[in-house]
Amino acid sequence: MRRAVGLSLMTILMAAVCGGTGQPAAAPSVSSGPTAAPPPIHLEVSYSNIIGDELPLWATKEGGFFEKNSLDVNLSNIASAQGVPAVLAGQVTFAQVGGSEVMAAVANGADLVVIAQLAGVYPFVLEVVADIKTVNDLKGKKVGVSSPGSSSDIATRVALRKMGLDPDKDVSIVPVGSAANRTAALLSGAIQGGVSQPPDSLALEAKGFHVLYDLASQKLPSANTSVAVRRSYISSSKDVVQRYVDSIVQGTKKLKSDKAFGVSVLKKYFQSTDDAAMGATYDFYALTVAPSQPFAKPEMYVDAQATLGAGDAKVKALDISKLLDSTFVQSAIDRGLDK
């Protein structure tokens, strides 16, 4: 009788362990679902002009790559040199702005670092009014730039010197505030020459202007549009900075492989319905100016340092390598985000 009871208890215990199936019960499972994405970080970001240099940034925004990297980015247009004060004041976290302006600010104590380069060659041609036929005809005329020390100012001075002119003696350089203002000043007759790029150069040529000097075709290194951020922000938010650069690299990849997408982005930001002009602008910027690997390199700053350093000993003495941080682009490339 005792043996029967013992067998009965044994049967009950085995049933409990086996879940009534005759097989050992499985251990409780631990969830192994995907790691939750980090919460979206809101960022205020600026770009300096409505020009094709900014196309990689715009494509990144419109392609949803910031969102894919958990960044909630609001873009604003802060004209030319005002982008540097904006990032220093914390009004924006990242500024797409002329590298020459960042360099000058850093030389004079600003807490800024360039982490990427959206345009590393000069994208400009020097457009002039119809009655300027030769280089000598340009002497004594007014040539417009965005602001002193801006990318357009550096490019203008480089072009003038290559043409055999002294920028400080042979012409009057006039700051007009932005690329759009420069085009408007040319059309109004307030200036007789100025650097331009598609699609503005196409519109100018349709009005009788012509190219006196083609700087763009030479593919000379230039710190034309740099991505600047405060060094202190990198120290406190390195992961966010990496996600921002990752997004730019991914957005540029999409841009270069999808012309229809790129043209649609240009149409939005230029507020244009001109398929031919936007297509030509895409071909120029997406295929020849925007780098797949947006490294900021010291050689891009040679012209700017020589030009601005002539009047600023601090700029002349600056170690450019201390201005640049290529680690974020390198990480993105190492992980194949450009492929």
Which sign, positive or negative, has the C-alpha torsion 37, 57, 72, 43?
Answer: positive
54 and 118 Cβ atoms separated by less than 8 Å = yes
Location of structure tokens 């920028």: 167
CATH class of the domain at 125-218? alpha beta
Q: pLDDT exceeding 70 applies to what percent of the chain?
A: 88
The fold of 41-121+222-334 is D-Maltodextrin-Binding Protein; domain 2 (3.40.190)
Q: What is the pLDDT of residues 47-72, one digit of tens each?
A: 998 999 999 999 999 999 999 999 99
pTM for the structure as a whole:
0.84
Q: Which pLDDT score, from 0 to 100, does residue 34 have?
A: 55
Q: What is the pLDDT of residues 90-105, one digit of tens each?
A: 999 999 999 999 999 9
Question: What residues does each domain of the chain span?
Answer: 41-121+222-334, 125-218
Given this chain, do its domains 41-121+222-334 and 125-218 carry the same CATH topology? yes
Strands (E), the chain: 41-47, 71-77, 94-97, 112-121, 125-128, 142-145, 172-175, 193-196, 210-214, 221-230
What number is the average pLDDT over the span 281-286?
Answer: 96
Q: Which pLDDT score, from 0 to 100, does residue 38 have?
A: 67
158 and 122 Cβ atoms separated by less than 8 Å = yes
